[in-house]
Amino acid sequence: MTSSQDTARRFSAVTGRIDDSDNDAWAVHEDALDLKRRGEDVILLSIGDPDFRTPEPIVDNAVSHLRVGRTHYAPALGELNLRRAVADYETRVSPHRCRVGEVAIFPGATSAIYSVLSCLVEAGDDIVVVDPMYVGYGPILKALDVNPVVVRTKPEQNFLPTLDDLRGAVTAGTRAVFINTPSNPTGGIMDQGLLRRLAAFCQQQEIWLVCDEIYSMFTYGVPHVSLRTAAANLDWLVVIDGLSKSHAMSGWRIGWAVGPDDLVQHLGRFNSMSMFGCPQFIQDAAAFALNNDEYYVKEMRDVYRERRDRVCERLDAIHGLRYHRPDSGMFVMIDVRAFEADDKVFAGGLLEAERVSVLPGVAFGESTRGHVRFSLVQPLDVLMDGCDRLQRFVENP
Ligand SMILES: Cc1ncc(COP(=O)(O)O)c(C=O)c1O
């Protein structure tokens, strides 16, 4: 007889590919959470979850729909009211009219990205991605067993790729180019010309161009240009967006993909097989949020902008410290190479000495090695305290 301990239980290959237990990029964040649980005075600047509460009218809307029984299965592609709200929003922000038939709803942008890529690429295909990239993309690419062809970027170019870099990364095996603008972690925004020419190139090569625009509503001065606005032809384009950041609704799990009708039909079947739709009352509240959002989004954007300005002003006062002033999003990338070559060592030291947690840039790729990501999702007084501690740390090595 064998006990379960002697039996080597077997799991699928995908479990091995997405097992990141040896990835220590998040170690500082985990250590910071441990310290906080033990009651220490830790400033968590390693997170990307908005610190705002979801606006009250959106919460009330969800509750009222819960009360009237909107608690059943929903269509796999999403409730018509939310798909229409997304289509109307996409129509407002781009010269191309967006139809309901081009919209698929998912439980969050992450799920939208996984589903879209599952419908576009095969194991072994090349997919062009930009470094640095959001930490959530890596596991998706690994799960799908695709081959990421990484386009490195430079700090002096605001971590943005050039058209030639992107074009040069395309091989005969490339099925998709996957970009993110505005960017997490850098806040860089791709300009209209780059997006227009990239879209034309992908169309001519007959490869998909997928763009994650989840930070589209949080830009400060430099306008976000949607891929759908920039492109002349939408045949090979997919835009991903959602409410997690813009409406402080990360836990509600609402995202979407906008693409050609035939892709959307595949996405419906994919969603039906895997998620089987999103909760009705949440979709109702999400539609309400999108149709009535001007005020709340602007209010939150103004707060983020002020935090960005005040933090940058404060960082300016730290001798020898360089940083990238973000045009968008919720993070400031700080170049720590003048103090410590290894960003993980810097982040570990900052937590140990001053109880501030920031994410090492290498978590996002080689291009941001030597940097740390300082999050703006804390109230201003906490951010200022974080800057004071950072200054003390770099000035007293
Ligand atoms: C660039 C980017 N895309 C997607 C996501 C995940 O979005 P969601 O919470 O809607 O899955 C994040 C979250 O941090 C992000 O930064």
Structure tokens at 179: 């970009």
Ligand 1, atom nearest to 113 Cα: 4
Residues of the chain scoring pLDDT < 50:
1
Q: Tell me what pLDDT residue 25 has.
A: 77
> pTM of the entire structure?
0.95
* Ligand 1 centre distance from Cα of residue 126 (Å): 23
For residues 90 and 82, the answer to whether their CB atoms sit within 8 Å is no
The torsion angles phi and psi of 240, rounded to 5 degrees, stand at -110, 135
Q: Over the stretch 303-362, which tens digit does the pLDDT of each residue have?
A: 999 999 999 999 999 999 999 999 999 999 999 999 999 999 999 999 999 999 999 999
Q: Tell me what pLDDT residue 189 has.
A: 96
Q: Over the stretch 170-228, which tens digit does the pLDDT of each residue have?
A: 999 999 999 999 999 999 999 999 999 999 999 999 999 999 999 999 999 888 999 99
| 14-53+295-395 CATH fold | Aspartate Aminotransferase, domain 1 (3.90.1150)
Residue 108 CB–ligand 1 contact under 6 Å: yes
Mean residue pLDDT across the chain: 95
What is the spatial distance between Cα 339 and Cα 268, in angstroms, rounded to a whole number?
Answer: 51
Q: Position 71: which residue type?
A: T
Q: Tell me what pLDDT residue 221 has.
A: 87
Domain range annotation of the chain:
14-53+295-395, 69-292
Dihedral (CA of 90, 92, 98, 101) sign: positive
Residue 256 CB–ligand 1 contact under 6 Å: no
Residue whose CA is at the smallest distance from ligand 1 atom 16: 184
Structure tokens at 80: 């018509």
Residue 244 CB–ligand 1 contact under 6 Å: yes
Integer angstrom CA distances of residue 150 from 133, 165, 353, 390: 10, 10, 35, 32
CATH architecture assigned to 69-292: 3-Layer(aba) Sandwich (3.40)
Structure tokens at 190: 């791709």
Q: Tell me what pLDDT residue 23 has.
A: 78
Residue 90 CB–ligand 1 contact under 6 Å: no
* Ligand 1 centre distance from Cα of residue 64 (Å): 28
Residue spans of alpha helices (H) in 11-55: 13-17, 27-37
